[in-house]
Amino acid sequence: MNERQKDAIKKLQGRLRSDRNVTATLPDRGEADGGYAFTEVEGVTVVIGPRGGYIVPAVRTYHMDALDAAVEAHVLWDEQKERDDADTLTARNWDRGAP
């Protein structure tokens, strides 16, 4: 994990504490080819790019800043799952995040 990624994890951890009162330390879930680091926010994978950017791959779309999406990853996932469970036929047409 490079310094930008370490800083991104610290920033995410700080936002989780201040915005959502999540005090658990973010787990280190390793790295992948290309220099991507992985962590989890309440069970939802968050990817930190080599330049410190945030990606929430389980959530198909989010209309907010990527850091905000990482902070809200669990909430966004739950909302997406609820929509998918209500309409499984449509959900199956998505590339990811479908039941």
Q: Write down the pLDDT at residue 89.
A: 78
Paired tokens of 71: 């902070």
Q: What is the DSSP letter of 27?
A: P
Distance CA 31, CA 97 (A): 21
Q: Which two tokens stand for residue 20?
A: 């959502």
Q: Which stretches in the chain have pLDDT values below 70?
A: 94-99
Q: Provide the pLDDT for residue 96.
A: 57
The reported pTM is 0.82
pLDDT at 98: 40
The one-letter amino acid code at 35 reads G
The predicted pLDDT at position 8 comes to 96
Tokens 């209500």: give the residue: 86
Q: What is the pLDDT of residues 19-40, one digit of tens each?
A: 999 998 898 898 888 899 999 9
| Residue ranges per structural domain of the chain | 3-91
